[in-house]
């Protein structure tokens, strides 16, 4: 009797590994009888070769085999492939149940056994596999929708200041790259990649006449502009999401300076969350090399010099060194995401607003 649903056009694919001819013959016949595809191999080396050639939903392996035993084979499979595993043993006292399960196999069967029992166990493992895959797909779809919603929110804020959404994509890429270089765990790298693009979400609360002003901002206008940090933090507060928690600290702190002369809270050094120190450099580099309503893009060389000179003042020294050492990777991201034209370094001039922002 088949144990896969009608909408599954392809039956489960099973690999049997056993050095006994009669066991292989019995398993192959039984698996095909219930409608599953089945391939048999004599040892671990053959099994690994088969796995390299095609995908198997389930591997059924004996433990006691010459050469590579079933435990070693299972470990190698679990390191590289997504197959579930059932192991068989006639010496359960030699391989305690918890030891077998702890390496990550789905089940084990003690010899001798009835073929009906094996089929029931195979069906159970495959059913659980399908449920896990369905749950993972659902989780991935929810996560995708969640990230998409965040991206659209950020895009709404960026429409005032950006020609496209490429800026926020690059900020995520720069930040992820730097977090990786700093040795962050992969999960944290992914979180900052999603959180960093929300750094300027508070700009949605800044009037267009200030955001789009081509000339120098007045003292009062600049004071209003600086509130985008606190507006963003309020928008992103009170969430249990790790992404939004980091996004909040980035929105609040990415204009703080290492020397304590930034805003909004004039905190300094290690008081500034490392995520904010990372995005401070990422945002500055991208803003300098991008066109704005009030300025033309800076040449990359000038952006490099400005950031390097601000080591220990505006920027964290360690992260500044990382920027300098991996400047080619920053340039690659800048050149491959969005427009990035040549800038005439000889005739380049700073706008009034640029001069003000650099001075402050």
8-state DSSP, 210: H
Q: Using CA atoms in the order 236, 209, 172, 319, what is the torsion angle rounded to 10 degrees?
A: -100
- Work out the mean pLDDT of the chain and round it to a whole number: 86
CB of 195 closer than 8 Å to CB of 162: no
Residues whose CB is less than 8 angstroms from the CB of residue 166 and which lie 6 or more positions away in sequence, other chains included: 337, 338, 339
The string of pLDDT tens digits covering residues 275-321 is 999 999 999 999 999 887 667 788 999 999 999 999 999 999 999 99
Structure token digits, residue 100: 């077998």
Q: Output the CA–CA distances (angstroms, integers) from residue 348 to 170, 228, 289, 327, in the order listed.
A: 24, 29, 12, 21
Are the C-beta atoms of residues 41 and 16 closer than 8 Å to each other?
Answer: yes
What is the DSSP secondary structure assignment for residue 310, as one 8-state letter? T
3-state helix, strand, coil in the chain (%, to 5): 55, 10, 35
The pLDDT, as a whole number, for residue 89 is: 81
pLDDT for the residue 204: 86
**Dist. CA 127–CA 68, nearest whole Å:** 29
Question: pLDDT tier at 357 (50, 70, 90 boundaries)?
Answer: low
Residue 177: its pLDDT value, please?
97
Of the pLDDT bands very low, low, confident and very high (cuts 50, 70, 90), residue 84 is: very high
Cβ atoms of 202 and 251 closer than 8 Å: yes
Is residue 140's pLDDT more than 90?
no
With the C-alpha atoms ordered 290, 296, 300, 306, is the resulting torsion angle positive or negative?
A: negative
Q: Which helix (H) or strand (E) holds 173?
A: helix 166-181
d(CA 153, CA 170): 16
Strand arrangement, sheet containing 107-110 = 37-41, 13-17, 58-62, 84-89, 107-110
Name all domains of the chain by residue range, CATH numbers in brackets: 13-134 (3.40.50.2300), 159-359 (1.10.3210.10)
Distance of alpha carbon 344 from alpha carbon 341, whole angstroms: 10
> Given this model, what pLDDT does residue 342 score?
57
Q: How far is CA 87 from CA 77, 105, 330, in A?
A: 12, 7, 49
What pLDDT was estimated at residue 346? 47
- In this prediction, residue 274 carries a pLDDT of 98
The runs of H, that is alpha helices, within 219-297 are 219-226, 228-235, 242-253, 274-288
Tokens 């056993």 appear where? 18
Q: Do the beta carbons of residue 289 and residue 297 sit within 8 Å?
A: yes
| 248-263 per-position pLDDT tens digit | 999 999 999 999 999 9
pTM for this predicted structure: 0.63
């Amino acid at each position: 009797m088949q144990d896969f649903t009608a909408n599954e056009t392809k039956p489960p694919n099973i690999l049997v590994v056993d050095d006994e001819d009669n066991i292989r013959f019995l398993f192959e016949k039984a698996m095909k009888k219930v409608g599953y595809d089945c391939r048999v191999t004599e040892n671990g080396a053959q099994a690994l070769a088969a796995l390299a050639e095609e995908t198997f939903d389930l591997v059924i392996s004996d433990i006691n085999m010459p050469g590579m035993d079933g435990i070693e084979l299972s470990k190698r499979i679990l390191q590289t492939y997504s197959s579930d595993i059932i192991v068989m043993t006639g010496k359960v006292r030699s391989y305690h149940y918890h030891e077998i399960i702890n390496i990550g196999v789905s089940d084990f069967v003690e010899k001798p056994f009835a073929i009906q029992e094996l089929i029931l166990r195979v069906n159970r493992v495959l059913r659980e596999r399908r449920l896990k895959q369905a749950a993972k797909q659902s989780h991935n779809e929810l996560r995708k929708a969640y990230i998409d919603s965040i991206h659209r929110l950020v895009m709404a804020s960026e429409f005032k200041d950006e020609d496209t959404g490429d800026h926020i994509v690059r900020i995520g890429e720069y930040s992820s790259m730097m977090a990786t270089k700093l040795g962050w765990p992969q999960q944290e790298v992914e979180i900052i990649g999603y959180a960093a693009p929300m750094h300027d979400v508070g700009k949605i609360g800044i009037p267009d006449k200030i955001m789009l002003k081509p000339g120098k901002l007045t003292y009062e206008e600049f004071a209003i502009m600086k509130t985008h940090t606190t507006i963003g933090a309020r928008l992103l507060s009170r969430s249990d999401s790790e992404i939004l928690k980091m996004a909040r600290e980035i929105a609040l702190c990415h204009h703080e300076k290492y020397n304590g002369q930034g805003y909004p809270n004039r905190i300094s050094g290690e008081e500034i969350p490392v995520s904010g120190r990372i995005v401070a450099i990422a945002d500055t580099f991208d803003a300098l090399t991008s066109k704005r309503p009030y300025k033309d893009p800076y040449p990359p060389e000038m952006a490099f010099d400005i950031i390097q000179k601000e080591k220990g003042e505006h920027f964290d020294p360690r992260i500044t060194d990382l920027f300098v050492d991996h400047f080619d990777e920053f340039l690659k991201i800048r050149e491959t995401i969005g427009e990035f034209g040549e800038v005439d370094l000889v005739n380049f001039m700073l706008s009034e607003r640029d001069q003000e922002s650099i001075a402050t």
